[in-house]
Amino acid sequence: MLNLTDPEAPPLSAAPAPSKPTPRQPAVAPPKPVSPPLTAAAEPTPRAHAVEKIRTTYKRLSDAAVDLNAASDELAKPIQIWESALKKLNLGVPAWFEISSGGDEGDWWNRSVGYTKLKDRWGIALRTREGCSFHPEGGVEEELWAFNEAPRWMRIESVGKLPELLDALLKQAEETTQKIRAKTGQANELADAISRVADDQAALTKGR
């Protein structure tokens, strides 16, 4: 058999064995940032709490004051209408209607709504009076306000009593009319008497 192998040729080296695949390393996730430990929110100090409460309450009070003044202005309008209507009558007589009263052991007080002269004009007014029955020499203490200048609580209390004030004015006007007429007769008698005396004296003077 023919040997095709060259005796002088270097021996053939064996083919390298296939390399084994390198096992793939599992992917490693990057480390997560470590958050600082949570701490409880700081409790507000009593002083900070008080300051915040003052700020909030004052803001609400400011809004309430605006509403209160607006409501007071609205209440003043119908009172002005009442005063204008009464002024047209030229009554010239005061009248009062008692709203509330009380007392204890001789001391007494009352509150009233009225129509009277205030300085140089007539208008609806509110007043308080107090005194002592055992010591009348001490006099009566009285405070008087134009309706729209009186304390608000008094305005609220009295506004519903205006119809009763109108009745009191009617009664006072009728009684004053009767008194004027009664005194007018007396005044006429006195006027007639002084007229006769004057005429007699004039005649005597003329006859001299």
State pLDDT tens for residues 166-206: 999 999 999 999 999 999 989 999 999 999 999 888 888 87
pLDDT confidence of residue 63? 96
Given pLDDT bands bounded at 50, 70 and 90, which one contains residue 2?
A: very low
**Range in 28-32, 74-78, 121-125 the model is least confident about:** 28-32
Token pair, residue 5, equals 């192998």
Given pLDDT bands bounded at 50, 70 and 90, which one contains residue 21?
A: low
pLDDT of 150 > 90? The answer is yes
Is residue 139 within 8 A of residue 122, CB to CB? The reply is no
HSE at residue 169, side-chain half, CA atoms within 13 A, is 23
Given pLDDT bands bounded at 50, 70 and 90, which one contains residue 54?
A: very high
With tokens 């001391």, the residue in question is 107
What rounded mean pLDDT belongs to the chain?
85
Cα–Cα distance, 65 to 78 (Å, whole number)? 21
pLDDT of 62 > 80? The answer is yes
With tokens 């055992």, the residue in question is 134
Tell me which of 32 and 184 has the higher pLDDT: 184
Is residue 125 within 8 A of residue 146, CB to CB? The reply is yes
Best CA proximity match to 130, nearest among 149, 146, 116, 143: 143
pLDDT in tens, 95-144: 999 999 998 878 999 999 999 999 889 999 999 999 998 877 778 899 99
pLDDT confidence of residue 130? 94
pLDDT confidence of residue 94? 97
pLDDT confidence of residue 144? 96
